[in-house]
């Protein structure tokens, strides 16, 4: 008899468990298209040059490892607000936005979830169908009932805009609605500016609360265009939550860096919201880890470094866009009959291939090609070396 007899075995994480399986696979030709991590054409995830410079500067100038404030430094708040909302708007919104420096986008989502569940009058959250596998876990852990809105047509492998709008129009006032700001994970199917305009209108008319998961700024079109959704929703005057991650665009995955922005009416309301956000942070991790945030702050606070960082993000984005084109050609050259040209239209790291769970598992077992069971691939995992092998495997699998 053990106290742990009551512990049941949890299923492995649908995304992160594949990294372990990939590492353990002895096949020298194995290909990892599972977790959303950028790799260059040599299959490496190097530290960005701007990050390296910022770390050197910090190593020479940092004076303490004492605690940060519960929600991080005011400078981090202001710089990340500028990135999210644009410099001009950030200045006018600064008295209304509450920012917390969080451990990654996941930390931001969890703090937001807990704050909303404990302080606002809702316990229903609406997630995109499909969505990032961890959204459900995060919001369930914060005490929410999970509901889904239509987003993607799995036959045409594209955004089902009509069904999406119909769903948004049926969501009750006060419920929380999680939207992907750009580079929709897992489908890569994004909203156009006009479609965001309509979403903003529906949010205003219906009175539900938008929360934008913003993990891929710069990986879709560019830093500013990818921020259209958060910036447009900020104009509505509605309460708004934005969860930023700097894992991908600063390549700071393991440092766990992100930010939660809550748009309030300002004044006394801002003060009350800030006090409760602090409670969520304090009871979860007390105050944020410093190193990753200090890197982001150093880069964004130095015009030359920031310009260089924007160029580094552009070169990651361009590589992903090129690979999308190359993969579509490689599939057609390999004689794959199915039309994969939709890959070119999708944005960011991910594409929904339409492959079934059985096909994903067969790719893993027979070809050592790792994709998520949902059929999601991380396009950035394709390189000049593995592209034709991946296309050949798909030819054998699909004919
Ligand atoms: C992904 O979707 O692969 C990334 O966001 C990594 C993760 O934590 O799941």
* pLDDT tens digits, 158-188: 999 999 999 999 999 999 999 999 999 999 9
Ligand 1 pocket test: which of 134, 187, 254, 371 has the largest number of ligand atoms within 8 Å of its C-beta?
A: 134
Which residue, by CA, sits nearest to atom 6 of ligand 1?
36
Q: Percentage of the chain surpassing pLDDT 90?
A: 96
Distance of alpha carbon 57 from alpha carbon 13, whole angstroms: 37
Ligand 1 pocket test: which of 17, 32, 36, 243 has the largest number of ligand atoms within 8 Å of its C-beta?
A: 36
* Distance in Å, CA 327 to ligand 1 centroid: 22
In the predicted model, what is the mean pLDDT of the chain?
96
Tally of CB atoms within 10 A around 39: 17
- Taking only the tens place, the pLDDT of each residue in 108-130 is 999 999 999 999 989 999 999 99
pLDDT at 399: 83
* Distance in Å, CA 41 to ligand 1 centroid: 20
* 248 catalytic per annotation: yes
Distance of alpha carbon 18 from alpha carbon 361, whole angstroms: 11
Q: Of 184, 259, 260, which Cα lies nearest the Cα of 220? A: 184
Region 26-47 average pLDDT: 96
Tally of CB atoms within 10 A around 156: 10
Position in ligand 1 atom list of the atom nearest CA 186: 2
Place of tokens 């479609």: 195
**Pocket of ligand 1 contains residue 134 by CB under 6 Å:** yes
Region 348-368 average pLDDT: 95
Do 29 and 368 contact (CB within 8 A), yes or no? yes
* 132 catalytic per annotation: yes
Q: Which residues pair with 210 in a beta bridge?
A: 177
Catalytic residue among 190, 213, 226, 373, which?
213
Confidence band for 301, pLDDT divided at 50, 70 and 90 = very high
- Taking only the tens place, the pLDDT of each residue in 217-268 is 999 999 999 999 999 999 998 999 999 999 999 999 999 999 999 999 999 9
**Pocket of ligand 1 contains residue 381 by CB under 6 Å:** no
Which residue, by CA, sits nearest to atom 5 of ligand 1?
36
Distance of alpha carbon 254 from alpha carbon 292, whole angstroms: 9
Residue 107 has pLDDT above 90, yes or no: yes
Q: Which residue has the higher pLDDT, 104 or 90?
A: 104
* Distance in Å, CA 282 to ligand 1 centroid: 25
Q: Which 8-state DSSP code applies to residue 380?
A: G
Position in ligand 1 atom list of the atom nearest CA 185: 2
Which residue, by CA, sits nearest to atom 2 of ligand 1?
36
Class of residue 195 by CB neighbours under 10 A (exposed 0-12, middle 13-18, buried 19+): middle
């Amino acid at each position: 008899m053990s106290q742990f007899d009551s512990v049941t075995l949890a299923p492995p994480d649908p995304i992160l468990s594949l990294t372990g399986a990939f590492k353990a696979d002895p096949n020298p030709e194995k290909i990892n298209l599972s977790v959303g991590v950028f790799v260059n054409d040599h299959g490496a995830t190097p530290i960005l040059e701007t990050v390296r410079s910022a770390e050197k500067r910090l190593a020479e100038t940092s004076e303490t490892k004492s605690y940060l404030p519960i929600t991080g430094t005011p400078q981090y708040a202001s710089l990340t607000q500028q990135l999210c909302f644009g410099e001009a708007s950030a200045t006018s919104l600064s008295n209304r936005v509450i920012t917390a420096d969080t451990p990654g986008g996941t930390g931001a989502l969890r703090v937001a979830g807990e704050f909303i569940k404990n302080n606002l009058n809702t316990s229903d959250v609406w997630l995109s169908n499909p969505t990032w596998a961890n959204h459900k876990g995060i919001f369930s852990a914060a005490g929410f009932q999970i509901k889904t809105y239509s987003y993607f047509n799995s036959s045409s492998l594209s955004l089902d805009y009509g069904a999406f709008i119909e769903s948004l129009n049926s969501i009750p006032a006060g419920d929380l609605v999680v939207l992907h700001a750009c580079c929709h994970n897992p489908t890569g199917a994004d909203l156009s500016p006009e479609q965001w305009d309509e979403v903003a209108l529906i949010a205003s008319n219906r009175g539900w609360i938008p929360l934008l998961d913003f993990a891929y700024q710069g990986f879709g079109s560019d830093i500013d265009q990818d921020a259209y959704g958060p910036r447009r929703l900020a104009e509505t005057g509605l309460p708004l939550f934005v969860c930023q991650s700097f894992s991908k665009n600063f390549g700071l995955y393991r440092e766990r860096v992100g930010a939660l922005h809550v748009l309030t009416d300002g004044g006394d309301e801002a003060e009350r919201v800030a006090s409760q956000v602090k409670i969520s942070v304090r009871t979860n991790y007390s105050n944020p880890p410093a190193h990753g945030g200090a890197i982001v702050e150093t880069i964004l606070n130095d015009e030359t470094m920031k310009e260089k960082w924007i160029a580094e993000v552009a070169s990651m984005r361009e590589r992903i866009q090129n690979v999308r084109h190359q993969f579509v050609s490689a599939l057609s050259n390999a004689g794959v009959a199915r039309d994969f040209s939709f890959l070119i239209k999708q944005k960011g790291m991910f594409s929904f291939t339409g492959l079934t769970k059985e096909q994903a598992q067969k790719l893993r077992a027979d070809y050592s090609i790792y994709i998520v069971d949902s059929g999601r691939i991380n396009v950035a995992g394709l390189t000049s070396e593995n592209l034709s092998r991946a296309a050949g495997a798909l030819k054998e699998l699909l004919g």
